[in-house]
Amino acid sequence: MSAFNFQEAVIDLSYQKPVVVDFWAPWCGPCRFLGHVLDDLANQASDKWALVKINTDEHEELSGAYEVRGIPAVKMFYRGKVKAEFVGALPKPQVERWLQANLPDEKAELLEKLQELLLQPHSKADALIHLQAMVQQYPNFYPALLALAEQIVWEKPIETLELLKPIGEFDHGGEKAADLRNFAQFILFMPDEATQNTPAGQALIHAQTAAKMADFETAITQLINSVAADKNFNHGLARKTAISLFRYWGFEHPLSRKYRHKFDMLLY
């Protein structure tokens, strides 16, 4: 296989599907063992990925270019780059786990593209429609549920709570789902006359109004005011919402850096 053919058979093809490259040599016993494993798995793959074998004795330049230090060496190419690799004759179950962990997920890639579009004002509306369609098509794909919940929680809290029902506390994304549920419950808060006549309640109402208008600096300051007045008011709603906001934003977010210490001092 020439360098040109490598470009065609591996690099170019990797833009269509993953290509698993097996660097081997005829004199290498472990290479022959692994070669049979890879052949079996490639035959079972239904063309989801391609297998290309490279004899390192015949193509030393490729071994050098891709830093093959020992054989058998397996490298997965995707979109022109090495995405994952391992060295040694792993047993079939381990190779299967390696493939499962590293083969690209079409759903995840689509979601990533949609999330990029959601950040652009001119494409956000269309991207949201596609995201909703994706959730309908893959109702158990939790990353998509979470992504849609993020987009609608401040305007459609009831729909958000329904959307997040499948995601449990210990599921992947469970913490983020809990934060989004807290936001939804905060938006759904309905003040009564008694609430309106308390400092904690008044601050909570102001925080809710600000959040609905996407004024999150006012929202967090009013939540802090509510906690300062009574941190257990309405089952700790202001406290829980503030904790979720800081966790959702992360430590480096400007509002976290500005207000987190003040909030923590109220709690402890």
Are 223 and 204 contacting, i.e. CB atoms less than 8 angstroms apart?
Answer: yes
Report H helices in 45-123: 60-65, 92-102, 106-118
* Lookup: tokens for 172: 């992947």
Residues 6+ apart with CB under 8 A from 172: 142
Catalytic one among 10, 20, 21, 28?
A: 28
Residues 6+ apart with CB under 8 A from 99: 20, 41, 49
Q: Is 31 known to be catalytic?
A: yes
What's the chain's Rg over C-alpha atoms? 26
Catalytic one among 20, 21, 31, 127?
A: 31
Q: How far apart are CA 5 and CA 21, in angstroms?
A: 13
Question: Which of 255, 247, 162 lies closest to 214, judged by CA?
Answer: 255
Active site residues: 28, 31
